Amino acid sequence: MSTTTGRPVLAVASECAPLVKTGGLADVAGALPAALAPQGWAIRTLVPGYPSVMAALPDARVLADMPDLLGLPGRVLGARVGALDILILDVPSLYDRDGTPYLDVEGRDWPDNDVRFAALCLAAARIARDGIDGWRPELLHLHDWQAGLVPVYLEQLGVACPSVLTIHNIAFHGLTGADRMARLNLSPARFTVAGFEYFGKVSALKAGLVGASALNTVSPTYAQELTTDAYGMGLDGVIRMRAADMSGILNGIDTDTWDPTCDPAIKPFRRPAGKAANTRALRQEFDLADMDGPLAVVVSRLSDQKGLDLLLAALPAYLAEGGQLALLGSGDTALERDWRAMAAQYPEQVGVQIGYDEALSHRMYAGADAVLVPSRFEPCGLTQMYALRYGAIPVVARTGGLADTVIDANAAALTAGVATGILHQSHSVAALSHALQRLCMLHADTDTFRRVQKNAMKYPVGWDASAPLYAALYARLADEGKTNS
């Protein structure tokens, strides 16, 4: 039985830090339980039993057998890691594989991803129906398309348990062929425009959007953007239809893990001037020259969404101004090639490491004068929050959560003493180039730059403001669920 006290919530997520992480979804799934506990909510998080999860929790105990999960034998294990109360769906035939949660070692989607995450959804629905180890949730918190089929299975099992679906990135729909419905044990009755049908295919995300009791996304601006054709990725009509049930709640970060005063990965500092040692170390680590201009960093997936092709085009002018850049990331093979070529062309000013290294990312935020996030769209973004915490000026596109968390260093904000970064229009090389020029000018004005750094480090980036909003949403849904049951 869970040792966590509070009203019971089952979260369903395809990844959860620190056990498995490919992006911000994992950070949020890992941080919410601790953030909501003081609000009176006890979250247990159901995740797939990937090799990294199983290896991290060798003492997990069996809580329930599920001998027939879409025709496959499985079981649910329970364990604790820090503040996390974890439920592990152990189906070795689905999850015991090399690669990432979504991709094989060659970088291709697992061909049975539909089954892998449908099984997770079905297991969650059965836990809501039957309970587990003497515990049953009042509410289900579903994260992205991988948990989107939960409302369908709840309906098919006759379970009246309320749910909220959090959209971390609407670009990923979880599509599969209509001919897969029997394999996924989905009723054809819901394969309609009003159900989970999407241009002749099954959309797991749409299933969640139409079936969950409430929807939310990870920033107020992204919630507004999703209602438009430009950002809704073909589901803006569904979002508009559910407008009364939709909210935007800004993500936070774990300020204990991301604390520049005691971060084991860096040389601790307590004021912006203390960054100097970390900046010198970062230049050495990326084999960059000692220069007077700003040292910017990028820690990102290399993808079209992140706008790193735009940055490639804008970079030469920034380098000509004396700027430098260190990049850590992986993804699109063409972008990886182009960034390696940029580093080869400017070896003293551009350093590139392909891959991901958590400790190195901390060192980069600690040593950077600025962090660049030129995304075409960004639901929330955590990178700019890490940057603020470490006194690295965010230079970000004016979209989604980036617009909600960074105060542009325009004349008014500088005069008022509240500026924390630089914003620019998305989708534009010219706008990004101008933002980088502004960064160079701001950096050259040492006193003003220091003031902006201090503002950044004081800006609240934790869960203090958002946790009560989630708690209120949980309470409303759970109480309505009891009234309607």
Complete DSSP assignment for 350-378 = EEEEES--HHHHHHHHHH-SEEEE--S--
Which stretch of DSSP H or E encloses residue 35?
A: helix 24-36
For residue 329, the SS3 value is: strand
The answer to whether the beta carbons of residues 150 and 142 sit under 8 Å apart is: yes
Which parts of 105-187 fold into alpha helices (H)?
113-130, 150-157
The residue behind tokens 């009203």 is 7
Which stretch of DSSP H or E encloses residue 451?
A: helix 446-458
206 appears as a binding residue in the annotation: no
**Rg over CA atoms, the chain:** 23
Burial of residue 463 (CB within 10 Å: 0-12, 13-18, 19+) is buried
Query: Which residues are within 8 A (CB) of 235 and not within 5 positions of it... i.e. 6 or more apart?
Result: 170, 173, 198, 205, 206, 209, 226
Tokens of 151: 């409302």
Q: Which of 395, 400, 394 lies closest to 376 in space, CA to CA? A: 400
Cα–Cα dist 3/273, whole Å: 44
Q: Which of 485, 472, 483 lies closest to 214 in space, CA to CA? A: 472
Cα–Cα dist 389/386, whole Å: 5
Q: Which of 439, 465, 200 lies closest to 311 in space, CA to CA? A: 439
Q: Which residues pair with 20 in a beta bridge?
A: 16
Question: Binding site: which residues?
Answer: 21
Annotated binding site for ADP-alpha-D-glucose: 21
